[in-house]
Amino acid sequence: MNTETLIAVNIGLPIVSALAAFLFNHRRAREGIVSVTALTLIASSLLLFLNGGMELSLGHSFEVIVVVLDFVLLLYFLYQGFKALSWQVIVLSLGQLAPAAYFEFVLETPPVEAILVIDRLSILMTLIINVIGSIVLVYALGYMEEHESHQGGESRQNLFFFYLVLLLGAMNGLVYSNSLYWLYFFWEVTTLCCYELIRYEGTEEAIENGLRALWMGLVGGVAMIAAMYVANYGYGTIAIDELLAAIPSRYLYLTFALMAIAAFTKSAQLPFQSWLIGAMVAPTPVSALLHSSTMVNAGVYLVLRVAPAIQGTYLTYGIAFIGIFSFMVTAIIALSQKLSKKILAYSTIGNLGLIIFCAAMNTPLSYSAATILLLFHSMSKGLLFMCAGVIENRLHTRQIEDWKGLISRLPVTATITMVGMVSMFLPLFGVLLGKWAAIGITATAPLFLSIVMIAMMVIGSSATTLFWAKWLGHFAITPMSGAEPAEENLSATYKLSLYSMLGLDIAASLGSGLVLNRVVAPIVALNYGKVWDTGILVLSSQVGAFMILPLWVALAAVFIVGGLILRSKGGVVKPPYMSGENVEGDPEAFRSTADSVVKYQIAGMFFDPEITEARWVPYSTLAGVFLNMILLALVIL
Amino acid sequence: MSLMTKARLKSLWVLHYDCGSCNGCDIEILAALTPKFDVERFGIVNIGDPKQADVLLVTGPANNRNQRVLRNLYDQMPKPKMVIAVGTCACTGGVFHNCPNVLGGIDKVIPVDVYVPGCAARPEQIIDGVVLALEKLAGKAPEGEE
Amino acid sequence: MIDYMAPILYVLAAPLIGGLIAGLDRKITARMQGRVGPPLVQPFFDVIKLWGKEPFISSRMQPILATGYLVFVLTGLTLLALRADLLHILFTLTLADVCLIVSAYNSESPYSNLGGRRELLAMLSYEPIMVLTAMSIQIVTGSFLVSGIFSYGTPLLLVMPAAFVAQILVLIIDMKKSPYDVSGSGHAHQELVRGVYTEFSGYTMALVELGHWTKTVFILSLISLFWAHNLLFGAALALSLWFAAILADNVYPRLNWKSMLRTTWLTGFTLILANFVVLIVLEVI
């Protein structure tokens, strides 16, 4: 299958399927459309991986379509701004309309020859978008059915799936674009999908958060247009590959700085993190797809794209600083969160910050660390969000304090979730491989800056371990009371999506040597050279050696030896120790004064009031604004 | 003597429970742990958790309220286990044996292996009681199984 | 080519060495308190006795997790003996700790739950020091590999003295000695009944005890790397810190977890960072 067809499929099929899903608002039709789309996209991404990259020039008619659609989009945003009386949206839409119009119609800009450039980085992104995205699409089928059956009323799923599927096409277009204008266009389409999906529920909270996501996304759009202007002024081109190869000057760095700021808005780095936290009001497939594994990767992708051209500059360390600062702050705030999706959201922002940090630290090892983190985080976080959605649909609460004893109420889901959590912060899985590499490169920054970064890295990763471990522990509480297990009843789509994502994560982690050699190394080799030496047991780089397979062998030993011991010694299950005051039949209670039965209560550890959002968010946001201003100052002055 | 039996004789973890004692016997038990008498040299540790204890040291008489707790603690101890009643109140109820809420000595509630009388029982006697319990353990369980 | 025999023997001997060190600990503590103390091999009697108790468990997960704790600590020690990557080894130990903590939460017990939470806080206290130590090794020798310490010219004690001193905090917290025995305590003390160990009993407790001994041996081995050129001297250094921990236990009362966090972060963490600054200024790195 030739590459042009695959590209057409990757961008075009989602558009067609989205329209089909919109028009045919029946469950069966939707299932059919989504399944066909999913299978085709997965196949297409794998074939593309095997084929390799290329450059594509498209005809003038495509450019016209893009320009027209772009203006329609901007006008739609403006309209939405007026409808909601949101001055931010209005100002930012106008702030794009006018300059974009001027840019397209007045300024003489030479056309970009190779509009679409597909290289190894784009191919990895396509793999993530198509494979992980398809799994989440399948999940969404089951989730939205359950979700709407709770709500009643007419089905609006056609609208939901329209935007959800469209996003995949927009993301693919984004990662292939070599023209800044096309990139910007697809970028704004993802903003559109994000806005519509967040406000899908139609509640006041949803609309408010949708608007916040919209205007912050539009800030990114403005930054992109500004970048286009600067690039055109300095170099007379908006072709990304030409800019990456251009002779550095202040204009080039300013372009990249503006693109970095756009990346921060999309990946919710400080100070733009609040939209992602607020976006958790959307239905869970939205969180799983857009806000953890796919759309937010667009910002990270941009930094990965730009990084090779800014090696060794102040700009790159500035971007790295913002990344690791976001990582540290969100890890600390996550310690205090009690809502499942908010913890996952803060963790996402933190990990994206870590990826940006690694990419911007700009050493061969750090760049590969960024790629590894990107790949594995998408899988693990997508899995966790999907699990959180299943649990929430059954328990009707997001409070993790109420998610006690899930191991017996929802055994399959709880086990998958626990494995997902382990995959985020413990060795055996790929995320920790990335984090290990990230710690390894922290000291490569210029001297005293490295001390600050080391401190932030250690603080951030300690906080991360803490909040995952305490949530994991809470999940493992095994109720000994005869609590009725909640109906687990996992539908076929749930089982398919959860198991395949879990299987993918485990397989990729077990085969991380292979992943490093076949997927990561070619990307790093484009600009940096060889980094890893991969054997079966050991993955070694210049800073050390990581062993994944030996740990899996140890894990197998745990189960074998532990199982043997359990089988031979056995054991009677006994109620917990309550100072002798146990109550027959109720392991959670004890006898108190006058022999009354009292249930013991333990609240979780949330570090209230030292760490509260009310205290930390305003200062962090302010710090974020300050840091971004310093970033711009670094390049302008 | 098998290794397991030897280990059980050499490592005796104690759970101390006060059933309503005046604390006189409790103080004497504490004294046994202090440097002057130092029962730790025999491997005796006041562990405080029935699930890990071998010996239940009880002081004070059993009454209607604490019989449930006593039985609960005894049940939470895995075998092989011993019970030592320290002090006259724990043995027979002592001066309180006629009181309305008092059931008598603790053997009304749980099986007792060694009785250490005295009011208060002296540390030397308590240690003698423990040695007696160890001999009973050695004789009782020659292969280490119960 | 690394000699495989010595590391394997070392790992197999580790629980034995650990038990003897635990026994020596109790003996020294007893002598400091003017007592005679138990025999040196007392911990082995304890573990054998525990193994022979009637098995009570809090769930079927508990024995697996207890085995996990022991196996992963042994894995970490094996990797250390094979001179592998120190940061990776530290993460393996985190895995072991999380097994213990999840097991503590697993039983529906208030004491165990609080103990598990405090064990997490203890981990939060000593892990950063260990990670910073690994990073110091990376900065000084160029990689995380323990073999790099052996091939580096100067003993680490002379280059990173702050990391060495900070290890005392790690030892105190790991050995569960006052002032930082908040998550469960050594034998003669009680905190939250048995804290994180409350719901373990019989053979699961034996597994956890073995794991704990091995972990202590691991930390002492790590400290001896501060004089890698003469491991006997290094071991002497490690044992001197170990002795200081026992002394601290007999002198200090138990402090609370906030104090533990504060001291480890404000003292240990910042001291090591200050060491980095000094090294940069002296142009060692």
Strands B12-18 vs B55-59: parallel, antiparallel or unpaired: parallel
Q: Measured between beta carbons, which residues in chain B are less than 8 angstroms from residue A581?
A: 69, 72
Which of A117, A143, A131, A111 is closest to A232 using CA atoms?
A111
Question: Looking at CA atoms only, how far is residue A544 from chain C in angstroms?
Answer: 5
Which residue does chain B place closest to C52, by CA atoms? B4
pLDDT at C1: 47
CB contact residues (below 8 A), chain C span 205-224, against chain A? 207
Strands A597-599 and A586-591: antiparallel
Kindly report the nearest CA distance between residue C251 and chain A, in angstroms.
Answer: 30
The whole-number pLDDT of residue A480 equals 66
Per-residue confidence band for B146, with pLDDT thresholds at 50, 70 and 90: very low
What secondary structure does DSSP assign to A382-395, as a single string?
HHHHHHHHHHHHHH
Burial of C103 (0-12, 13-18, 19+ CB in 10 A): buried
A404 or C206, which is more confident: C206
Instruction: For residues B128 and B126, give the distance between their C-alpha atoms in angstroms, rounded to a whole number.
Output: 5
Of B17, B51, B70, the CB nearest to A577: B51
Helices (H), B35-81: 66-75
- Domains of chain B listed by start with CATH number: 10-140 (3.40.50.12280)
The mean pLDDT value for A224-232 works out to 92
Pick from A44-48, A582-586, B65-69, C111-115: least confident: A582-586
Buried b (16+ CB within 10 A) or exposed e, B7-32: bbbbbbbbbbbbbbbbeebbebbeeb
What pLDDT, on a 0 to 100 scale, did the predictor assign at position A525?
87
Tokens standing for residue C141:
């020798």
Question: Which pLDDT score, from 0 to 100, does residue A150 have?
Answer: 79
- The 3 state secondary structure assigned to A41-105 is HHHHHHHHHHHCCEEECCCHHHHHHHHHHHHHHHHHHHHHHHHHCCHHHHHHHHHHHHHHHHHHH
Residue A317, pLDDT above cutoff 60: yes
Q: Which two tokens stand for residue A151?
A: 């709500």
Which has more pLDDT, A546 or C71?
C71
Put simply, the answer to whether A478 touches C138 (Cβ < 8 Å) is no
Q: Region C64-89: what's the mean pLDDT? A: 94
- DSSP bridge pairs for A274: none
Instruction: Report whether pLDDT(C135) > 60.
Output: yes
- A408 neighbourhood in chain C, CB within 8 Å: none
**How far off is chain C from B98, nearest CA to CA, in Å?**
35
pLDDT on residue A475: 87
C36 contacts in chain B (CB < 8 Å): 38, 41
Interface of A with B (CB under 8 A): 574, 577, 579-582, 591
CB atoms within 10 A of CB A60: 8
Tens of pLDDT, residues A49-81? 998 878 888 777 888 888 889 999 999 999 988
Looking at the predicted structure, is the pLDDT value of residue B140 above 70? Answer: no
Mean pLDDT in residue range C193-197:
91
- With a CB-CB cutoff of 8 Å, which residues 14-43 of chain B face chain C? 35, 38, 40-43
Cβ-proximal residues to B6 (8 Å cutoff; 6+ apart), any chain: C45
User: Tokens representing A233?
Assistant: 């002024």
A496's CB contacts (< 8 A; 6+ apart) are: A138
- Percent of chain B at pLDDT exceeding 90: 71
Q: What are the CA-CA distances from residue A339 to residues A157, A284, C44 (Å)?
A: 26, 13, 46
Both structure tokens of A30: 């939707």
Q: Residue A439 in contact with residue A515, Cβ under 8 Å?
A: no
Shortest distance between the Cα of A576 and any Cα of chain B, in A, equals 9
Tell me which of A569, A572, A573, A574 to substitute to probe the interface with B (most B C-beta atoms closer than 10 Å).
Answer: A574
Which tens digits make up the pLDDT trace of A352-383?
A: 999 999 999 989 999 999 999 999 999 999 99
8 Å CB contact of C49 and B7? yes
Distance CA C114, CA C191 (A): 10
Contacts of B72 in chain C (CB under 8 A): none
* Closest residue in chain C to residue B36, using alpha carbons only: C35
How many Å from the N-terminal Cα to the C-terminal Cα in chain A? 50
> What does the pLDDT look like over B50-98, one tens digit per residue?
999 999 999 999 999 999 999 999 999 998 999 999 999 999 998 999 9
Is there a contact between C193 and B38 if contact means CB atoms under 8 Å apart?
no
CB–CB of B7 and C190 under 8 A?
no
Which chain C residue shows the shortest CA-CA distance from B8?
C49
Asked whether residue B13 carries a pLDDT value surpassing 80, the answer given is: yes
**Are the C-beta atoms of residues A320 and A357 closer than 8 Å to each other?**
yes
**Taking all residues of chain A, what is their mean pLDDT, rounded to a whole number?**
90
Residue with tokens 């959800």: A164
Q: Give the CA distances from residue A43 to residues A9, A50, A119, A496, B130, in Å, rounded to whole numbers and listed in that order.
A: 10, 11, 18, 17, 75
Candidate from B17, B49, B69 with C-beta closest to A581: B69
Confidence of residue A478 (pLDDT cuts 50, 70, 90): confident
CB A127 within 8 A of CB A504: no
Strand pairing class (A544-546; A572-573):
unpaired
Q: Where are the alpha helices (DSSP H) in A476-603?
A: 492-510, 512-515, 521-527, 549-569
pLDDT at C284: 62
Mind listing the pLDDT tens digit for each residue in A6-27? 888 899 999 999 999 899 888 8
**Strands B62-63, A533-534: parallel, antiparallel or unpaired by DSSP?**
unpaired
Contacting residues for A161 by C-beta, under 8 A, at least 6 apart: A18, A21, A22, A30, A33, A34, A137, A140, A144
Residues 6+ apart with CB under 8 A from A362: A307, A308, A310, A311, A312, A316, A320
CB contact under 8 A, A582 and B50: no
Q: What is the dihedral of CA C118, C124, C126, C129, to 10 degrees?
A: -170
d(CA B146, CA A62): 86
Q: Which member of A427, A466, A572 has the closest CB to residue C95?
A: A427
In chain A, the percentage of residues whose pLDDT exceeds 90 is 54
The encoded tokens of residue A498 equal 């959860």
Which uninterrupted H or E stretch holds B103?
A: strand B102-104
d(Cα B36, Cα B32) in Å, to the nearest integer?
A: 7
| List of chains touching A (3+ CB pairs within 8 A) | B, C
C20 to chain B nearest CA, in Å?
15
| Cβ neighbours of A551 in C, within 8 Å | 75, 92, 95
Mean pLDDT over C208-235 rounds to: 94
Cα distances (angstroms) measured from residue C277 to each of A317, A447, C127, C158, C232: 19, 9, 21, 15, 30
Which chain B residues contact residue A582 at CB under 8 A?
72
Interface test with A, best of B15, B72, B73, B79 (most A CBs within 10 A): B72
pLDDT value at residue A259: 94
B39: distance to nearest CA of chain C, Å? 8
> Which chain A residue shows the shortest CA-CA distance from C64?
A562
Please answer whether residues A438 and A357 qualify as being in contact, where contact means their C-beta atoms are separated by less than 8 angstroms. yes
Report the percent of chain B where pLDDT is more than 70: 95
Radius of gyration (Cα) for chain C, nearest Å? Answer: 19
| Min Cα–Cα distance to chain C from B128, Å | 18
**φ/ψ (deg, to 5) at B14:** -110, 140
How far apart CA A583 and CA B69 sit, in angstroms, is 10
* CB C30, CB B38: distance < 8 Å: yes
Q: What angle do CA C77, C79, C80 make, to 5 degrees?
A: 60
Contact yes or no for C47/A522 (Cβ under 8 A):
no
> CB under 8 Å to A173, separation ≥6 — which residues?
A11, A182, A185, A186, A189
Kindly determine whether residue B54 and residue C49, on different chains, have CB atoms separated by under 8 Å: yes
Q: Which of A617, A633, A615, A625 is nearest to A322 (CA)?
A: A625
Residue A482 has pLDDT above 60, yes or no: no
Determine the average pLDDT of the residues in C263-273.
Answer: 93
Q: What is the pLDDT of residues C257-266, one digit of tens each?
A: 999 999 999 9
What is the C-alpha separation between A628 and A472, in angstroms, rounded? 35
The distance of Cα A571 from the centroid of its chain, to the nearest Å, equals 44
Q: How far apart are CA A615 and CA C97, in angstroms?
A: 31
How many C-beta atoms surround the C-beta of residue B60 within 10 A?
28
8 Å CB contact between A326 and A492: no
Q: Min CA distance, A263 vs chain C (Å)? A: 30
* CA distances in angstroms from A607 to A466, A612, B57, C204, C266, listed in the order given: 12, 8, 40, 32, 18
Q: Write down how long chain A is.
A: 637
Q: Where do runs of H (alpha helix) occur along chain C?
A: 5-32, 42-51, 61-81, 86-106, 110-141, 146-151, 156-159, 161-174, 203-224, 231-251, 257-263, 270-281
State mean pLDDT over A111-136. Answer: 91
Q: Which helix (H) or strand (E) holds A264?
A: helix A250-266
Q: Which of B6, B13, B41 sits opposite C37 (nearest CB)?
A: B41
Contacts of B72 in chain A (CB under 8 A): 580-582
- Give the model confidence (pLDDT) of A577-625 as tens digits: 988 898 888 888 899 888 899 988 888 889 888 888 888 999 999 999 9
Task: Supply A501's token pair.
Answer: 């994502």
How close B121 comes to chain C (CA, Å)? 22
Model pLDDT, residue A484: 62
The nearest alpha carbon in chain C to B53 belongs to: C201
Q: What is the pLDDT of residues C32-42, one digit of tens each?
A: 999 998 999 99
Amino acid at A216: M
Would you place residue A322 in the very low, low, confident or very high pLDDT band (cuts 50, 70, 90)?
very high
CA distance B105 to chain C (A): 27
Spatial contact of C58 and C109, defined as CB atoms under 8 Å apart: yes
Tokens of A634: 């670094």
Residues of A in contact with C84 (CB under 8 A): 545, 547
Which DSSP string corresponds to A475-505?
HT----S-PPPP-----HHHHHHHHHHHHHH
| Residue C3 buriedness (CB in 10 A; 0-12 / 13-18 / 19+) | exposed
The pLDDT value given to residue A542: 82
Q: Phi, psi at residue B12, to the nearest 5°? A: -120, 110
Chains that touch C (3 or more CB pairs under 8 A): A, B
| C2 pLDDT higher than 70 | no
Q: Considering CB atoms only, which of C30, C34, C45 is closest to B7?
A: C45
Q: How far apart are CA C185 and CA C176, in angstroms?
A: 5
Token reading at A551: 């740990």
Mean pLDDT of C52-80: 94
Mutate to test the interface with C, among A431, A467, A475, A551 (most CBs of C within 10 A): A551
